[in-house]
Amino acid sequence: MSLNKDMHPRNPYKEKPPDFQALAIEFPEFRKYCRIGKNGKVNVDFQEDAAVRCLTKVLLKKDFGLNVELPDGSLVPRIPQKLNYCLIIEDFLNINNLCAENEKIIGIDIGTGASCVYSLLGAKYFGWKFVATEGDVMSAEVAHRNVSNNYLNEKILIAEVDPNAKTILMDMINKLGNDQNFTFCMCNPPFFETKETEERFTYEPSLDGEKYSNRVIFEERSQPHSITFASSAELQVEGGEINFVNRIIDDSIILRDRIKIYTSMLGRKQSIKPLKQRLEILGNDVKYYVTTLNQGKTQRWILAWTFVPEIVLTYMDRPANLICLKPGLIRIEEKMKELQSIVRRENNNILIFECRRITWKHRRAQKRAEAKLNLPNAKRSKLSSIEASSQTYLGTGDGKDSLSDSGNFVDVRRYSTSSAKFSDCEVQAYFPCSNYSNPNLRFRVSSSSIPGNNLEDLISIELLSGAKHNLNQLLQFLKNSLAS
């Protein structure tokens, strides 16, 4: 199923996919890969590497005025997807009002590859400057030629780096000097673990160097939708993409606001969780956001994080406001303590809240259950004692597995049996795990006075991490219980 309908809304290929017929008429080198199908339409064989390579080159030429060399056996960038990532970067710049002067924006393109595609598109289409790093000597040389051939030397600096160095960004940034800061970094890391390439790809001995493809030779699997050739450096790295991005996170902990917005693409959904957990551990200083890249038949993910408090990473992160009777911050603090939230004070007007469990949902059911459990002894003694068999389900984890999603909720059900004297009894209990340390939700609350209003405060609530829908529900709960 095509994901093109979910492409970035500003991606020109969303409404207007490449027109093979027009490209075949304009570019003879592409025409030789085109066939006219039974329906009269021009088709391209995506199983043929040379055809895929040529299509990317003519698209870059026609739509962006770029002449790009793509050496045999190296990755062929899929332009709609590459543009999607650049447009997400542009969204981050837009929402932070950083786009006003595009020529002042400097990005880092980590592992630019031979195509140098993000830097070329970023410089030509968006007007940004780049330092583009590359760990493979041959790819760095070709990237350099691609920059020169397109007269973009003023905008793109290729930095050849040691791929075995522990740091990915730090050495390169230190070499550039202390006064050089960056607006963002972007990266398409090698996805796979070193041993995985052999298992998943076909070795291509006819090509120079260690090259692989996704062609299926022996197995009974169907051929991939589109052929991909790549070098081992493009496909694999020790520890896979999780390790690679963790190394960028390591660098970011030291570099902090020298790069305003850190981003990386992720090729595997299962990489998101461990990387988010890693960022969570860094505490209140870091904000992160995950979004998707959709194009053709593939979905990818972008992880973005920042150490700059003023930077927002989504429109939804924009602080939500609440008007509350004075003293607003103290009222919120009391309410949040009732909801078992951990509170940290940033300064007199700002508090950070950390919620490990979602305690603001099903409040009525929770209260009713508590009331039942806390019946006065006089009432309890009136309850008839019965013989019961009992079944208990125990949940563990973050509370999401409890039926009510409401923390220490206990449900006891009694079922009649054929005998009036006996009943079956079922107990469902949720026990929070003490070693479960990742908070569900973290947010910053700040209070300010409203000019000319002595009764109320303006409360701003900003999501730091966790699901937006949980914060929205909490906000509604606070509005209902606190709003003046």
Ligand X SMILES: C[S@@+](CC[C@H](N)C(=O)[O-])C[C@H]1O[C@@H](n2cnc3c(N)ncnc32)[C@H](O)[C@@H]1O
* Binding annotation for S-adenosyl-L-methionine: 82, 111, 134, 188
Q: For binding to ligand X (CB under 6 A), which residues are involved?
A: 75, 77, 110-113, 115, 117-118, 133-136, 139, 161, 163, 168, 188, 190, 233-234, 237
Cβ-closest residue to ligand X?
A: 111
Residues 105, 125 contacting (CB under 8 angstroms):
no
Nearer to ligand X, 111 or 122 (CB): 111
Question: Min. distance of Cβ 190 from ligand X in angstroms?
Answer: 5
Least distance in angstroms from the C-beta of 119 to ligand X: 9
- Is 74 or 402 the residue whose CB approaches ligand X more closely? 74
Nearer to ligand X, 84 or 406 (CB): 84
Measured from the CB atom, is 132 or 332 closer to ligand X? 132
Residue 135 or 407 with smaller CB distance to ligand X: 135
Looking at the Cβ atoms of 77 and 80, the one nearer to ligand X is 77
Residues of the binding site: 82, 111, 134, 188
Taking the complex as a whole, how short is the minimal distance between the CB of residue 247 and ligand X, in angstroms? 8
Judged by CB, which is closer to ligand X: 162, or 334?
162
Report the nearest approach of ligand X to the CB of residue 81 (Å).
Answer: 9
Least Å from the CB of residue 136 to ligand X: 4
Q: For the CB of residue 233, give the shortest distance to ligand X in the complex, in Å.
A: 4
Smallest gap from Cβ 17 to ligand X, in A, equals: 20
Name the minimum Å distance from CB 310 to ligand X. 29
Is the alpha carbon torsion for 405, 406, 410, 411 positive or negative? Answer: negative
Q: Of the two residues 139 and 366, which places its CB atom closer to ligand X in the complex?
A: 139
* 289 neighbors 313 (Cβ within 8 angstroms): yes
